[in-house]
Amino acid sequence: TYFPRLKFDKKNPTQLKYNDCITIKNIPVEVHNWKIAGKSPLEWLADYLKPRTDKGSQITIDPADAILESGEKEKFLNLIKKVTQLSLKTQLLLSRLSQLKFF
């Protein structure tokens, strides 16, 4: 199935299980260094992609439905790539900013 059910390998943070058939490997460890409210952007993405049911309405929200609607099987794989690059580039930028001397 192409539907994402993201899980990080606790023993090996360079691997992300996308679903039962796909495991993404060689994710840079540095991706996990930049945190927003205690989680890396990839962790936020993994949480976002989990199906959830609204307690009040009992409506189930499953982001994987976007795959069905769009027909883009690589939609979330591409998003994982983008979030990974964003994390790495942000850390690079932050390290460069910390080296600047302000008056």
Dig out the tokens for 48 from the structure.
């976002």
User: In the 8-state DSSP scheme, what is residue 64?
Assistant: T
Distance from C-alpha of 80 to C-alpha of 83, rounded to nearest angstrom: 5
Please say if the pLDDT value at position 80 is more than 80: yes
Please say if the pLDDT value at position 1 is more than 60: no
User: In the 8-state DSSP scheme, what is residue 34?
Assistant: S
Sequence letter at residue 72: E
Distance from C-alpha of 38 to C-alpha of 52, rounded to nearest angstrom: 21
User: In the 8-state DSSP scheme, what is residue 36?
Assistant: B
The whole-number pLDDT of residue 2 equals: 62
Please say if the pLDDT value at position 38 is more than 80: yes
